Each structure stands twice: as structure tokens, then as C-alpha cells.
Structure 1
Amino acid sequence: MAIILVLLLVLCFVCGRAYALELSDIPGMIDWSCLDLKVIGTCVGPFGIPGIVIMYWEPALLIETVKQPGDTIIGSLKPEFQNLTAQAVKNFAKSIAGSSILASSGSGSSKIEETNLQFNEAHVYAFPFGDEIMMSLGMTCPDKLPTGFFIKYLSELDSLEWRIGVTEVLNPKSMASAASGPACAAISGFMEDLCMGYWGATYPRRGFFTHQSQVVGSAAAAIRAVSIASALNVPGHVVLETTGFVPSFGNDKLQMIYPVVSGCIKIGQNPALWESGKLSANGKYLWVYWRRRICCVY
């Protein structure tokens, strides 16, 4: 009986952790190997001071995807989310009342694609504790991201674009990206803004995405949200505050920290190499966006 009670307590703890995180949990979920600090050359600083060129990746953003509007993985944010998104969801419902909206990822309309069509809400945050983590390295690029709002982008506040794509469909990149979708794995090295490698087309940047993997769908939604939040061709979108940098999807990396903690992956990387064992039981995912940095230090 005592053994059963212990097992039940352990299961309850695991279940509770599986559905809620706090910001204070995040530093312990970081894969430090993602930093990958290297010296890649020499340089000359002001007044001829000799220096070295370093390259590393810094945790710049935290991105979550959820299935229900206003939901979040981070328990302490739920009250704030309810206030921010409740009215936005109501306004969106009123705006489309009586209309027929086609839910499509923009990559086609075959029966297979309809079967694999999925939808995610996406939230982009400034990475908490980023300054503290980078200071621990002792050698980093001198410029830092500007201090601003913690919450950068909430797809619920951007519903007309994230769900329908009112102006996204008019973006010339949407047509080019959707058309290249089936060939993204082959051409993404040359068109990184249009394609996410094996994951599919970047545009139109909406929450609907066609892929057989829920895990990949979440990763793709995260990248689309980062693109919007970084002010890359965002007419019509609602962004609370830009990320403060231009992402390089061909060089930056993602790390999953929920539902499981994993190592870093390249954006668009073949799912066969990293996706196994990462399916979320509740459809929620949390990612760290690692930004590549190269600079001269002296």
C-alpha cells in the first residue's frame, strides 16, 4: 500500500510538472552546449589594439505554441494572458461572424494536406536571464539586445493575420514560399527566408501549417512568429515589441525545453534526426531561440 501511495505521489508530481512551468525553471533546462563558443580568427580593435574574432550562440527568445487561445505553459502568465487575449478573441469572433474562412497553410489543398493540417497559437518572449547567462561566459560581444517588454508577440492579438492572413496573402513572398514548399528541403540553403528546410514553407506566416508531425508544426509556428516579431515585412501584423534583431534562420538554432529537454537543432533540420520521443500529450511546446553572434573582442 505504501509503495502504491509513493507511486501515486510521483505520478501527480510528474503530471503537475507536465502541464505547468515557471520562469525560474528555465535556467536549469538550458543545454549549455548550444552556446558553442569558438575563436575563429583575429581582428584589430580601436587604436590598433589586437583582438580575436569569436562566434557563439546566445539564448535570445523564448517561444511557446499552444492549441487554445489564451493558454500558456508558464503558470504565472495565465492571469495576464487572460486579460490580454480574452477581448482580442471576442473581437476576432465578431469580425468573422457569418463569413466562411478557409483554413489553409498555403501549401496546397490535397486530401493528404487537409488530413495533416494543424493550427498553433504562438507567443514570443524575450529570453529571461539572458544577460546573467551570457555574463557567465566572461567573453561575449559587447552589444546587447535592448531592454524592453518581456512579451514581444501574441498571435491571439494578431488573429486576422495569424488565422486568415489578410495582408500575408498579398506579400509577394507568400506566393513564392508556398510554391517552393515541396522543394524546401533542397533549396532552403539559397532561400532561407522563404523556406524552413525539411519543415516546409515560411510564408504565409499563419498559424495553420501542413505537416504529419505535430512537433514539426510547433517548430514551424515558432519560426513564423519570430519572423513576424522581428519586423521582417510585417505590414498588417500586431506586434507588441520587436525582438531587436534580424534573425538568420540559416545560422540560428532552436532548443526544445518542453515537453522534454533536448539539444539544439538547426532550423529546418530533417525531423528523422531529432523529432522522435518529443510529442506533447497536451499539444503545448516551449522553445529557446539561439541567435548566432560573431564579433571582435579585444
Structure 2
Amino acid sequence: MSAACSSITPLKLRPFTLSILLACGPSMALDTGSITSSVRSPNCLEYRVVGICFWLLCTPFGCKVKTSTKVRHFIPELGVSSYTTTGNNPWAEMATLSFPISGAEGGGNLITPNTRRDNLPRFKNVDGIGHPGGWVATQLASQSGYACATGATAFMPYYLSTLDSLAWRYGIPESVYPESLVPGIREIGRQASGNMWGNVYPRQGFLVQPDDFKAAAVMAQRAGDVVTRNWQPHVYLPLTPAKRDGYWPPGPVVENDASTHKWQLLYPQVQPSCAIFPSDPVQSADGGYAWSLWRPYSCCKREGQTFLFSIDFEGGAS
């Protein structure tokens, strides 16, 4: 455990200049071992038998229809870090992937002489890296029966905001999208409920939000939104595994929808449960936060050469 207090080069961004204010206090780095062990959470895994698959099995003696159980469970796909100081990813072993480069040197918040102001623009870098515990979670699921394979590759850098500076630091081109300009579209939380944390668009690193945890969470949601879709105007690797017979990978992450994803807090503390945003804030002393992004997979064991169809207990066929 160590205490750190430092400043770095100011981040210049139209129409104002951001100076850096780094929180001081004790912090403990997050390592791969603790991330991997965090996946042993039945609450996050949420293993369920959801239906039956039908297969056609043919042999020299004829053909017959066989069945297998269709299961659904969540898998941790990404370790998503959202942090103030460029190059200071809380996931210690991955910090070297996001060192400052030309055009992506600074980070921080607008310093204001009035601490009671609630219009503080905050900036966060975000890294989305393949979760090292996906295989462990699948093995845990297999103890309850058949389990699905993850579509993510461990330690793969799917998103590094330092490489996406045009979009992440300047909001180009998403600042002029309708989702960015029209209130009430793509919001995390709801205005009517009094828990709206921020807009998904523009998917960039700035947000006016007085609460540091909430700002970091919105940035993580934005990065997850990008990575789980194809053909977005960002520099990233899509995490969009393909459907195949008896294997149904998840669709894109959708805010406020627990059927598409869940977040497990890893830093500043590891929590044993998952939730979607809005969730209970936990403030970090150093402006760094990290979550596991869990997404749902459905699958069934192959019992023949040809997949016919599946029936879900809750209705519907595929």
C-alpha cells in the first residue's frame, strides 16, 4: 500500500484548459490474480437451464432426433478500467498498454475555486482488456451442468482510449449525433427516478458530473457500448462473437438493461456481486476504478450432425 500525490501536464482542450488535480491517499493496485479469483460469484454467473435443443443424429442405421439441455449464464469478458491519470490503469500488469502518447498525455478535472459547484467536468481514460477469468467462470458453470465458452480472448486490448484520442478527447464525430443533442436519449438511469448519471453519447472521456464514481461508471459504460458493437467510429477491436448451431453469444450492451450485461466492481474494492448502473457509489482515493463486464451466453451440447431448433421454457423458439 502506498500514498501518492502528483500532478501531470495540463490537458488542453477547446474551449478551456484543464489542469490536473489528482486525489491523494492510500491505494492498492489491482492485479491479475485478484481479478481472476473475483469470478467465483454465483450472483454474477447466474446459471440457469432455459430450454431444450433438438438435433438430428444420423448413422448407417438411420436417423433420429436427440435433445440436449439449453443453459444460460454470464461470463466475464472484459476488465474495464476508468481512471484519471493517463498511464495509471488500476490493473497493474496492464498499465504499460496505456502510457501517455502524443495527443493523449493528460487527464483530470477542471479546477474551480468554488468547491460547491456541481458542474465539474471530469475526464477519465478507459481501457477494456480481455478478462483473465473467463475460462475459470466457464469451469465454475460446468459444475452445474453444460457450460458455454467465452467469446473473448484473455488479455486482448479491445479498447485503449489513448489510441482513440480524436473520439475520446474531442468527441469527433459523435458530439453532433442526435443521441448527444436530444435530452432523454440513451441515458444511464432515469431523470424521472432522480438517478440519471449521464448520457451514453457522445462516447467520449468528458462528463459534467460532481460524483467521481458516477463519472467513471459512465465512461466505462460508454466504452462497453462501443466494444460490443461493430463499425463504430472509434479505434477498437469489436467483441462481437458469432452465433453458431447450439451457441448464442450476447448482443450489444444496452444501458439500464440487466439482460444484456452486468458490472462487478473490482477497484477500489472487489465486490462479490454484480449490478447494472446506477449502483451504489464507492469512491476511490486516486481517481481510478475498475469493473468486470459480464455478458450472458446461451448454449447446448451438440448431440447430432444437424441442429434443428431450440425451445425456451419462457416461450419462443430459435
Give TM-score scaled by structure 2 length.
Answer: 0.67
Letter in 1 for 2:201: Y
Q: Which residue of 1 aligns with 2:141?
A: 137
1:68 pairs with 85, 100, 104, which one? 85
CA gap 1:263/1:186 in 2 versus in 1, 3 angstroms: farther
Aligned to 2:101: 86
Over the aligned positions, Cα root-mean-square deviation in angstroms equals: 3.4
Distance 1:290 1:187 in 2: 27
Report the Cα distance in structure 1 between the residues aligned to 2:186 and 2:102, rounded to whole angstroms: 35
Which one of the candidate residues 157, 170, 175 is aligned to 1:164? Answer: 170
In structure 2, what residue type is equivalent to 1:234?
A: Q
Deviation track 1:37-83 (CA, whole Å, cap 9, x = no partner) reads 1112333234422122212111111000110122211333334433x
Q: For residues 191-234 of structure 1, what are the alpha-carbon distances to aligned partners after superposition, in whole Å with 9 as ceiling and x for unaligned? A: xxxxxx74332111111123332212111111101112233551
Aligned residues with identical type, % of pairs: 25
C-alpha deviation, 1:261, in angstroms: 1.4
Tell me, in whole angstroms, the C-alpha distance in 1 between the residues paired with 2:266 and 2:177: 33
Q: Which amino acid aligns with 2:206?
A: F
**Equivalent position to 2:198, from 172, 197, 200:** 200
Distance in 2 separating the partners of 1:141 and 1:45: 18
Q: 1:119 aligns with which of 120, 123, 139?
A: 123
Counterparts of 1:134-283 in structure 2, within 5 Å, are 134-138=138-142, 139-142=145-148, 144-145=150-151, 147=153, 150-176=156-182, 178-180=183-185, 184-185=189-190, 198-232=196-230, 234-235=232-233, 237-239=234-236, 241-245=237-241, 246-249=251-254, 250=257, 251=259, 252-269=261-278, 271=279, 274-275=280-281, 278-283=282-287
Structure 1 residue 149: deviation in Å? 6.3
User: Compared with structure 1, are the counterparts of its residues 184 and 260 closer, same or farther at alpha carbon in structure 2 (3 Å cutoff)?
Assistant: closer
What's the offset of the Cα at 1:142? 4.6
CA 1:151–1:168 in 2, change beyond 3 Å: closer, same or farther? same
Structure 2 CA distance for partners of 1:184 and 1:35, relative to 1, 3 Å: closer
Distance 1:148 1:181, change over 3 A: closer
Q: How does 1:10-21 map to 2 (within 5 A)?
A: 18-21=27-30
Distance 1:263 1:142 in 2: 21
| Residue in structure 2 matching 1:288, options 285, 289, 292 | 292
TM superposition shift of 1:179:
4.2
1:43 aligns to what? Answer: 53
Shift of 1:157: 1.4
In 2 relative to 1, CA 46–187 (structure 1 residues): closer, same or farther, beyond 3 Å? farther
Rounded Cα–Cα distance in structure 2 between residues aligned with 1:89 and 1:129: 30
Task: Name the structure where strand makes up a greater proportion of residues.
Answer: 2
Provide TM-score, normalisation by structure 1.
Answer: 0.72
Q: 1:200 to 1:42 in 2, by over 3 A?
A: same
Q: Which structure has the greater CA radius of gyration?
A: 2
Match of 2:9 in 1: none
Unaligned runs of 5+ in 1: 1-10, 94-102, 104-110, 189-196
Preserved contact between residue 126 and residue 243 of structure 1 (Cα < 8 Å): no
Structure 1 pair 74–36 and aligned structure 2 pair: CA distance change class (3 A): same
Find the aligned partners of 2:119 and 2:25 in 1 and give their Cα distance. Answer: 34
Alignment check: 8 A CA contact 1:184 1:201 kept: no
Identify, as 1 or 2, the structure richer in helix: 1
* CA distance in 2: counterparts of 1:183 and 1:284, whole angstroms: 20
Task: Give the unaligned 5+ runs of structure 2.
Answer: 4-23, 58-64, 111-115, 242-250, 303-318
Q: 1:120 Cα deviation (Å)?
A: 0.8
Q: Give the partner amino acid of 2:85.
A: Q
Give the AA of the match of 1:26: I
